[in-house]
Structure 1
Amino acid sequence: MTTDDRGTIDDRGTIEAARAIRPYLTDWFSPQEAAALEHQLVDVLNPPAGLSNPTDPTMLASVAGQLRGLLETRRLTRRFLGDVLADAPYYRPPEHQPRYLRGRNAAGPAGDPGPVLADRYICPHGDYTWYRPDVSTPVGRCPTHQVPLGRN
């Protein structure tokens, strides 16, 4: 694990994985289990003091440790976390990483340099990340705060 003035790289990646996994939970788990995990993630991602100082290494380590504990308890979330951390420093969900996109269309058009990466949208409060799969998909709102997501 490496560190810099913003804290442990894996801590930042773990936080990003927890933000990015939220849209997938209802696809992977029963409605009750997805809602319970969503609630737990939201509680950790929205501490009373807020994530207003994301450069504080102590705060990052504490939040990341709690999130890691939640994500490592289930096979699908553990794998998602590992795949996101392997994508450092971008920390994208697996389906938006170039290594997973390459095999989808083996024969692209002539001159095609590769897959076009999805745009990333985040909640201004810092607890939700969503990747726009294509330009025809409308950008939604943060399910926690009901505010428009901003392109990042």
Structure 2
Amino acid sequence: MSKVEQNGPFFKLDEKRQEAVKLLFEDDLTDVEIAKSVQRSRSTLNNWKNDPLFKAAQEQYARMVVKDYKNDALKKVHELLNARSEMVQLQSATTILKMAGYLSDNSTPELDEAKVRKLKAEADIAEAKAKSMNENGDRVAEKIDKLFDKILEEVPKNDD
């Protein structure tokens, strides 16, 4: 384990919180059972779970645990590229592309292109609205001024 990891958020937690992080990662117990296991109340565990340091510690712990299996997992995914099933091959290729940052769970090249087209269209609409408001703004202001002038003419003047 590197010195950076040892100075990370997980190691800044006390023993009870570290144990709670581990139990939450394993996901075998309910929150009530975890709280009882670390001799705290359910509400205390809930408070911990909302604490930024605790959240960061959970992320660090997950990375530390997964790191042990990363190489084996990568080898297996690579092997699956040669599987008999085309579906398995596709899933394995997709996994590799996601890991490399070329795809995300909510992204495909086609979806990304559609999102870009939508954003451009929305920008064009906003620009047209702004232009229209600028062009018509002077006319609207003139009409409002005339309306106020007319109202002021109709208001009786006090000669006091």
TM interval, shorter chain, is: under 0.3
| Larger strand share, 1 or 2 | 1
TM-score (norm 2): 0.26
TM-score normalised by structure 1 residue count: 0.27
Q: Of Structure 1 and Structure 2, which has the larger fraction of its residues in helix?
A: 2
The higher radius of gyration belongs to 2
- Taking CA–CA contacts closer than 8 Å with sequence separation of 6 or more, which of the two structures ends up with the larger relative contact order? 1
